[in-house]
Structure 1
């Protein structure tokens, strides 16, 4: 599964203006719904929070990668948002989050592998500090697709 085939400018937002984790997940869930990735925003967000109870998805460096498998998912994807201002999030380093990668994966058995492959690919890219800086300062969704899409 190639990351560039999953990335979609329609579910990427630059400078999302939210004040909390709840607001961010709701806005990003709505974005996924409006673009046909999920068929039930409330169920999707509920499933994300179920996963959040298992452990922090704030991986440090101002990045969060919330994810959860949900029956509301109709198409695999990754919603991405850079935030206007950092927000509180349970993180490994205690810092605020200003970039969110919200994984959108079905809960069926066939999607388990896809979920793990996507997490692995994104996590590998986020270990590159230069790439992370480019994402943080990106001016457009197209820029983010370009930065992340190179395998």
Structure 2
């Protein structure tokens, strides 16, 4: 399985502007609404915020992997964002997050949802990958890094 199977080029946000957790989630979900106008982006954000209330998806090392399930999705979707300033995301190590991988999955495909999350976690455990992600030059640099993983 390749992460790039679930990531569209248009779903890479190299310069997140948001400064709060809820604003980051809104900013990450927004391009999905542009590509899939039938998607209820407000519901998606509510699902993500509900998941965050269970425990932060900020896993440490500047990484957050917000995720949730939506009933009317047809496939797993991944949105990638980067914040050079970092965002307070209530991460486990109390550090701001600058690397964001948002995962939305259909209700009925729990196994695939977990495989995608595991693939992202493995990728982000690699310190060299994290450094390359943060140093990548804008949109094209991030797409070049992500398109084959």
Task: Please confirm whether the aligned pair reaches a TM-score higher than 0.5, indicating the same fold.
Answer: yes
Aligned residue number for residue 59 of structure 1: 59
In 1, are the aligned partners of 2:14 and 2:142 still within 8 Å (CA)? no
Shift of 1:7: 1.8
Partner residue in 2 for 1:26: 26
Task: In structure 1, list runs of 5 or more residues that go unmatched.
Answer: none
Distance (whole Å) between structure 2 residues aligned to residue 26 and residue 41 of structure 1: 8
Note the residue ranges of structure 2 that are not aligned, 5 or more in a row: none
Give the aligned CA root-mean-square deviation in angstroms.
1.8
Aligned ranges 1:1-16 → 2 under 5 Å: 1-16=1-16
Per-residue CA shift, 1:9-51, capped at 9, x if unaligned? 1011111111111111111111111112861011001111121
After TM superposition, the structure 1 = structure 2 runs for residues 1-150 of structure 1, keeping only pairs within 5 Å, are 1-36=1-36, 39-107=39-107, 109=108, 111-150=109-148
Q: CA deviation at 1:147?
A: 2.4
- 1:36/1:75 contact within 8 Å kept: no
For this pair of structures, how many residues does the alignment match? Answer: 149
Q: How far did residue 139 of structure 1 move?
A: 1.5
TM-score by length of 2: 0.90
Q: Aligned to 1:16, what secondary structure does the other structure show? A: coil
